[in-house]
Amino acid sequence: MDIGDDKMSNAPRRPGRHFLQIPGPTPVPERVLSAMSRQMLDHRGADFQKLGKSVLSGIKTIFKTTGPVIIYPSSGTGAWEAALTNTLSPGDRVLMVETGQFAVLWKQMADRLGLRAEVIQTDWRIGADPAEIEEHLRRDTDRLIKAVCVVHNETSSGCMTPLEEIRRALDAADHPALFMTDTISGLGTADLRHDEWGIDVTVSGSQKGMMLPPGLSFTAVSEKALAASRTAKLARSYFSWDDMLSNNANGFFPYTPATGLLYGLDEAIKLLHEEGLDNVFARHARLGAATRAAVRTWGLEINCRDPKYYSQAVTTVLVPEGHNADALRALALDTFDISLGTGLNKLATKAFRIGHLGDTNDLTVMGALTGVEMSLELAGIPHKKGGVQAAMAVITDSMNKSPRAEAA
């Protein structure tokens, strides 16, 4: 091959970085990538034991729990299955709220496992309503519902549920059901207090606010959930809590762990604490507010219709009737090298999603919003100009009010 020939690809090189603005997987920090490149360890040896103990104790601080957090080499779906199979028995009734596509999938899993799911429907434009849950539980006078399952941050709809209010709803109804939540895209983006909010099973994943590649799931469990696991009758093997907890007690795992990802997890936990969890949450809130300001200025509709439920992780944007969101996404990728999230299920072709979570900052989001605004123009989607300026105003106003600015 001649030195000047380009036989490898017909496409010209694209300079600069790709903007990955989907709601997960999210970009991985360089320090985490470097940590993951280390050589493998004997997963039955003393050096691995130190790593195991470090991540198993460190992850508790992110969930704000003193109880165990089980780490599976799986996606968050594996943690869903573990939550149900370790605590419930065939035919048990569970109460779920359909706030979006991931709530739908969790319900489908419950059906396949032989559980009886009772579903509170929504229009996918709000989170779970605590009042509706309380009313439903009050009607269950025989206390047959064994678990209430709620998605914390629904990435398909861009709606976040206030979990502390769900806990108060269970308490107000004086109902003994287990309280379970999926915070796969909520952990590391918004405050989560497993112990204080009385959550019994909290499941999450590595590839969103935790800033890791996909491949790890996390399950925080309460004493009440552990007690339920001792009488639960659903079949379980790989996802048995007993096997994990007995090995985790000494820093080990019952089967070959994902050592590279555990190296990365150890570093990701350090990064979150170096920034400070409250600062992490404030950053996500600021970026979410800036993104929504841009969408409103464009004259487009935010899918989440109630500010109470606004997500700090992702904004789902509806396109006007007669326009195709996937065509917009394709144009944005081809023209500006930016990946936007697709609309899922009933939102397919009707919405696109802007992720503003994980290892992202103000300038990253400003660049992404600039790409979206230019893409709207090129796609011929009716909109008003000035969305980027509106987002800038939100960010600069927040900076002016920050303690750092006051100190200066």
Give the annotated binding-site residues for substrate.
Answer: 353
Amino acid type, 177 = A
Both tokens of 221, joined, read 């469990």
In this structure, the chain runs to a length of 408
Give 314-327 as a DSSP string: EEEEEPPTT--HHH
| CA dihedral (138, 144, 147, 152) positive or negative | negative
Q: How many helices (H) and strands (E) does the chain have?
A: 14, 14
Biggest alpha carbon–alpha carbon distance for the chain = 80
Burial class (CB in 10 A: 0-12, 13-18, 19+), 334: exposed
Backbone angles phi, psi at 5, to 5 degrees: -75, 145
CA triplet 207, 208, 212: central angle to 5 degrees? 40
CA distance 62 to 47: 24
Cis preceding linkage at 12, omega within 30: no
CA distance 26 to 168: 33
Residues forming the annotated binding site? 353
